[in-house]
A and B are shown apart, each in its own frame.
Chain A
Amino acid sequence: MDRPDYDLNTPEDFLQNDRFRDWVKYRLPEDRVFWEDFLNTYPEKRPVYERAVAMLLVIFGNEQASEAGEGAGRLRDMLSTIASHTEANHDEPLPLWRWLRWSAAAVLVIGLGFWWSRGGRQAGITANGVEQTDQPAQSKWIVRENQSQAVMLVNLPDGSSVLLSKGSSIRFGKEMNDAERDVFLDGEGFFEVVKNPAKPFLVHTDKLTTRVLGTSFRVKSFPGQANAEVAVKTGKVAVVADGNDAADPLMLYPNQRVSLIRKNDKFISSVTGPARNETTTPIETEFFDFEFTPVSEAFKTLETHYAVKIHFDQERMNNCTVTASLKDEPFLEKVRLICLATEASFVVNGDEVTISGAGCP
């Protein structure tokens, strides 16, 4: 297909020539001999040759070749890890993970890797929370488990809220008055954390720990799964891997997520694009943006997302509207702010909220 070299007359001729393109791309010594010879034989073609080289370099653009090899090897290792996981079923307890450091705002952590979960459970991995549910007598801790098919709202002592997915459980201190607010999660939960820079909020799972000062995020880490993801909704987040202290923290920006995949005995992580639609829950895409919204509608939105029942006097509060953006606030804070705006008060009893107010003019 290539023209014989004496027929290279225009830059286009050169560009169409596979041998020429390979030469500019790879610059192999054996090709060098050929093109040196070519230029010596046809010195009049040198200007066209030079222009063709320049055109190709411009078309090729910046190389950015760094680390590509490393990434390829990592991906290859990952693929073989997956297969050995599915085949060999030799899971040992996962190493505990401490690695996340957050700067601000909303973060969510999602676990993928469903193909591991079966193997992990068979191997009998037990994580903190599961063990704790067997010891309800432990007075310092409260354990909530969602055995229903829907999400379950859990209000924490500090005012933060958790939407617990089905098959998930959470354990937290009765008072939450330690230097850090620690909760232990098995499974998946959407967190909205009361801001308190003095008291970091830590979500521990069997694989990773998520550390925030006040924000909303989702954690999903079912025992036995070998990987997880962290995704940011708003703000930015720094991720530091355990046993990898020398490395720079991974910065995550809005709509980015980080995938963690277990490889040998370490986790490897990589930053990626938006959390996938099928893994996000509706609440993550709900902005709770109310603008002259009838209060009944606002309550309805809350009921839908938090799986609670809100009782209020429909007639009396008919004229009340809410204008607020309650994206990151915990559930109770949302209710409090709506009540503040409508001059009402509220009482929470389990998953039922009763609002009482005089109504609006």
Chain B
Amino acid sequence: MHQRIPRLCLLINHCVFNLLGNLERTADDSALWLAYRNGDNEALGVLAERYYGALRRYGMKFYVDESIVEDCIQDLFLDLWQNRDRISQTPSVKFYLFKAIRHSILGHMRYQQRFTNEESLDWDTSLPENFNAESLLIERETLNSLVAQMHAHMEALPKREREALYLRYYENMSVADISGLMGVNRQSVSNFLQKGITRIRAKWFVTVVLNLFFF
């Protein structure tokens, strides 16, 4: 760390970081991105740590082996480091990283000839083995049966709609980011989301009525 300070101080940004001590861990994405682009590998490390889990989770949804996903992530960050001089500032680091990892996973699948177009792209909808209903203030049997119904509807959705739903509601992404990430226009993403939600709950009333007979 000490060795690095004189070099980093050539750049005012780094001096700011060093003077403020451990700002890095809490710094926002764009500040870290700027620091990284100016040669601060720790800033990139913080970003890597921050997004590793999300990128891994996202990558594995495409039914790609976890070791491959992990290596795509590793390569992504190594590439970022090597090409730091050529990387520009980005309005959303998260979007940038997701877009990059999607690209590299699709590249991998194309290489393995598992990918021909967006339609051939898979999306994992398997459920967690135990989602601990009590911790969500719901009776276990109730939640189990609800999840099973929703899951059946979800399975019937086109895969890209499932991906859009995931990005919107799990990753909290904007419609604009999702459209950029998936390479479809915003209106389509809105439609995906709207249709997806509608379809997941479509047969709810029928199910309720049926349940009245059973319970």
A residues engaging B (CB < 8 A)?
A: 11-12, 15, 18, 21, 23-25, 27, 32, 35-36, 39, 50-51, 53-65, 68-69, 71-73, 75-76, 78-80, 82-83, 87-88, 115, 250, 255-256, 259, 270-274
A250–B65 Cα gap in the complex (Å)? Answer: 13
Contact A271 B3 (CB under 8 A): no
Map CB proximity to A onto B142-153 as digits: 1 under 8 Å, 0 otherwise.
Answer: 110011011100
**With known contacts A11-B201, A65-B53, A32–B137 Cβ distance under 8 A:** yes
Contact B197 A274 (CB under 8 A): no
**With known contacts A32-B137, A56-B169, A271-B67, A64–B57 Cβ distance under 8 A:** yes
9-residue interface stretch from B86-94, B127-135, B179-187: B127-135
B residues engaging A (CB < 8 A)?
A: 3-4, 7, 41-42, 44-46, 48-49, 52-53, 56-57, 60-61, 65-68, 70-75, 77-78, 81-82, 104, 107-108, 111-112, 124-129, 131, 135-138, 142-143, 146-147, 149-151, 154, 162, 165-166, 169-170, 172, 197, 200-201, 204
Contact A68 B74 (CB under 8 A): no
A79–B45 Cα gap in the complex (Å)? Answer: 6
Shortest distance from the beta carbon of A249 to any chain B beta carbon, whole Å: 13
- Which residue of B67, B82, B108, B169 contacts A15 across the interface (Cβ within 8 Å)? B169
With a cutoff of 8 Å between Cβ atoms, the chain A residues found around residue B77 in the complex are: 75, 78-79
With a cutoff of 8 Å between Cβ atoms, the chain A residues found around residue B147 in the complex are: 54, 57-58
Contact B111 A274 (CB under 8 A): yes
Measured CB to CB, the nearest residue on chain B to A20 is B169
Contact A273 B111 (CB under 8 A): yes
**With known contacts A58-B147, A59-B166, A72-B48, A273–B107 Cβ distance under 8 A:** yes
- Which residue of A11, A18, A75 contacts B172 across the interface (Cβ within 8 Å)? A18
With a cutoff of 8 Å between Cβ atoms, the chain A residues found around residue B78 in the complex are: 78-79, 82
A121–B81 Cα gap in the complex (Å)? Answer: 22
Measured CB to CB, the nearest residue on chain B to A114 is B82
Contact A259 B166 (CB under 8 A): no
A62–B149 Cα gap in the complex (Å)? Answer: 16
Shortest distance from the beta carbon of B22 to any chain A beta carbon, whole Å: 15
Return 6 A-B CB contacts under 8 Å, by A number: A51-B204, A55-B201, A61-B126, A64-B66, A75-B48, A272-B71
Measured CB to CB, the nearest residue on chain A to B155 is A58
Measured CB to CB, the nearest residue on chain A to B151 is A58
Contact B172 A53 (CB under 8 A): no
Measured CB to CB, the nearest residue on chain A to B43 is A79
Shortest distance from the beta carbon of A278 to any chain B beta carbon, whole Å: 12
With a cutoff of 8 Å between Cβ atoms, the chain B residues found around residue A271 in the complex are: 65, 67-68, 70-71
A62–B154 Cα gap in the complex (Å)? Answer: 13
- Which residue of B53, B56, B65, B200 contacts A58 across the interface (Cβ within 8 Å)? B200
A56–B150 Cα gap in the complex (Å)? Answer: 9
Measured CB to CB, the nearest residue on chain A to B80 is A79
With a cutoff of 8 Å between Cβ atoms, the chain B residues found around residue A12 in the complex are: 197
Measured CB to CB, the nearest residue on chain B to A65 is B53
Contact A270 B67 (CB under 8 A): yes
With a cutoff of 8 Å between Cβ atoms, the chain A residues found around residue B170 in the complex are: 21, 25, 59-60
Shortest distance from the beta carbon of A7 to any chain B beta carbon, whole Å: 18
Contact B3 A88 (CB under 8 A): yes
Measured CB to CB, the nearest residue on chain A to B129 is A62
Shortest distance from the beta carbon of A96 to any chain B beta carbon, whole Å: 24
**With known contacts A24-B136, A79-B81, A272-B74, A59–B169 Cβ distance under 8 A:** yes
A36–B146 Cα gap in the complex (Å)? Answer: 20
With a cutoff of 8 Å between Cβ atoms, the chain B residues found around residue A27 in the complex are: 135-136
A161–B151 Cα gap in the complex (Å)? Answer: 56
Measured CB to CB, the nearest residue on chain B to A50 is B138
Contact B143 A71 (CB under 8 A): no
Contact B154 A59 (CB under 8 A): yes
A102–B11 Cα gap in the complex (Å)? Answer: 49
Shortest distance from the beta carbon of B174 to any chain A beta carbon, whole Å: 12
Shortest distance from the beta carbon of A230 to any chain B beta carbon, whole Å: 12
A50–B81 Cα gap in the complex (Å)? Answer: 45
A68–B56 Cα gap in the complex (Å)? Answer: 7
Contact A259 B71 (CB under 8 A): yes
Contact A54 B146 (CB under 8 A): yes
With a cutoff of 8 Å between Cβ atoms, the chain B residues found around residue A35 in the complex are: 137
Contact B138 A53 (CB under 8 A): yes
Shortest distance from the beta carbon of B212 to any chain A beta carbon, whole Å: 13
Measured CB to CB, the nearest residue on chain A to B169 is A59
Shortest distance from the beta carbon of A262 to any chain B beta carbon, whole Å: 13
With a cutoff of 8 Å between Cβ atoms, the chain B residues found around residue A272 in the complex are: 67-68, 70-72, 74-75
Shortest distance from the beta carbon of B140 to any chain A beta carbon, whole Å: 12
A51–B211 Cα gap in the complex (Å)? Answer: 14
With a cutoff of 8 Å between Cβ atoms, the chain B residues found around residue A60 in the complex are: 128, 166, 169-170
Contact A39 B137 (CB under 8 A): yes
Known: A61-B127, A76-B45. 9 other contacts (CB 8 A): A54-B143, A59-B200, A64-B56, A65-B53, A78-B74, A270-B70, A270-B74, A272-B67, A272-B70
**With known contacts A24-B136, A51-B146, A273-B68, A57–B201 Cβ distance under 8 A:** no
A51–B207 Cα gap in the complex (Å)? Answer: 12
Contact B112 A274 (CB under 8 A): yes
Measured CB to CB, the nearest residue on chain A to B135 is A27
